[in-house]
Amino acid sequence: MGAGKTSVGRELGARMRCRFVDLDDVVVEAAGKSIPRIFAEEGEAGFREREKLALMMILQSLQAESTVIALGGGAYVQPEIHEVIRRALIPTVFLDARVDTLLERCQREGKKRPLAQDENHFRQLYDARRSGYMRAEHRVETAGKSVAAIVSEIIDRLGWCNEIPEVPQSR
């Protein structure tokens, strides 16, 4: 939460001339209700199940169109989701920042985030998830950088030029 996944993902998609999808938006659209409402009515387990199903739907459409996907803060650390991404050979990037920076960004946004309502809980969640995030193939420090600078660094790290590589077709 607060790492800049949506802002960076949207810019990366635009720069690479490909589709951008925010997993949280797909979950909200499919559920017909907000993330806070999903958490209130179905709990985190219900949200995570919806998240997994939404990701599977997105991955099925990858063969048709190159896509940058912004995963929710807890998605990548879910074992099933991590395994699906790993098997699909999708490059992964962890947008990293200090927990104080992330918390400040979340508070500045003013969005209601069910898992960021309490500072102590937010810090515990960050500590619990960090080792999972570190499994990403690439780590980009975001503090003090513009979205454009972060996107340029991702493009360099992935070895992309101004276009995204072809998506492998399954046979």
The residue assigned the tokens 């960021």 is 116
pLDDT at 30: 93
Tell me the backbone φ, ψ of residue 55, rounded to 5 degrees.
Answer: -65, -40
Judge whether 46 and 54 are in contact, CB under 8 Å.
no
In a domain, 161, yes or no: no
Q: Name 95's bridge partners.
A: 140
pLDDT at 21: 93
- pLDDT exceeds 50 at position 167: no
pTM attached to this predicted model = 0.79
In a domain, 116, yes or no: yes
In a domain, 167, yes or no: no
Least confident of 22-31, 34-43, 102-111: 102-111
Q: Name 94's bridge partners.
A: 139
In a domain, 160, yes or no: no
In a domain, 50, yes or no: yes
* pLDDT tens digits, one per residue of 135-155: 999 999 998 899 999 999 999
Overall number of domains in the chain: 1
How long is the chain?
A: 171
Please state, in angstroms and rounded to a whole number, the distance separating the CA atoms of residues 107 and 61: 34
pLDDT at 112: 61
* pLDDT tens digits, one per residue of 74-98: 888 888 888 888 888 889 999 998 8
Q: 12 lies in which domain range?
A: 5-150
| Residue 133 CB neighbour total at 10 angstroms | 17
Please report, for the domain that includes residue 65, its CATH number: 3.40.50.300
Tell me the backbone φ, ψ of residue 95, rounded to 5 degrees.
Answer: -85, 110
Q: What do you get for the CA distance between the two ends of the chain, in Å?
A: 37
Please state, in angstroms and rounded to a whole number, the distance separating the CA atoms of residues 28 and 38: 8
pLDDT at 93: 94
- pLDDT exceeds 60 at position 169: no
In a domain, 107, yes or no: yes
Average pLDDT over residues 7-17: 93
In a domain, 163, yes or no: no
In a domain, 129, yes or no: yes
Comparing CA positions, the residue from 26, 79, 29, 81 lying closest to residue 52 is 81
Comparing CA positions, the residue from 18, 19, 16, 20 lying closest to residue 162 is 16
